[in-house]
Copies of this chain bind each other. A is one copy, B any other.
């Protein structure tokens, strides 16, 4: 049950960011195309800082949850009585949240000289994230699920790397958003497969057909993420068309 909640929280975290970006990037793209001469305004910078703050807040919450749930390690890395590391999986997630926290802080304090650090961070964050999933080898199905996840993260990291060179490229942003949506929904799937909320023992770890089914399922998640993206893009296009290009100042993204 605890494992399902952890997985669901991580999934929600990614899905929310994916949804937010799936609205924000098309809106910004359409606005920018509308008045092509306008520079990134003060409002856009405020939105970016706000996004960073939200990211840092979520990451801090994640760290606290991972560390201080009853079964968590409570900031203790090495337990002398057991002569071993305490609960390294939770420390892995703490590390990931820590990278998000750093990335959020850099987003908040990034003025022009730190801009490049900001972009490198975004990449390094994802690379680190990818990295943390490399050596899961508890059980076969577990490994398969996490290597599928790693693939989604790798796609996101590749996008972020390319974005270092091609800034504000709408296709890359859409790729990255779809990758985040995929990661989020896949975290939920992992939760349901490995530790179902209704208390069952999880799926059969040795049945080969489960592997094939989950691979296919991953493709369906992808198609779903694309459908959500297409719907949000269409909605934001309709909104901009409705309100006019120079609409309200309350959504200067």
Question: Chain B residues with Cβ under 8 A from A1's Cβ?
Answer: none
Q: Which of A89, A124, A171, A216 has the most CB of B within 10 A?
A: A216
Which residues of A from 108 to 162 have beta carbons under 8 Å from B?
113-114, 116-117, 119-121, 124, 128, 131-132, 134-135, 137, 144, 151
Question: CB-CB < 8 A to A144: which residues of B?
Answer: 135
**When the two chains form the complex, which single residue of B88, B212, B219 contacts A216, counting CB atoms closer than 8 Å?**
B88
| Interchain CB contact (< 8 A) of A171 among B137, B164, B170, B207 | B164
**Does any Cβ of B come within 8 Å of A220's Cβ?**
yes
Q: Is the CB of B128 within 8 A of A222?
A: yes
Please state if B178 and A120 are interface contacts (CB–CB under 8 Å). yes
A98/B216 contact (C-beta < 8 A), A137-B208, A171-B116, A174-B116 known: no
Check if B135 sits within 8 Å of A95, measured CB to CB.
no
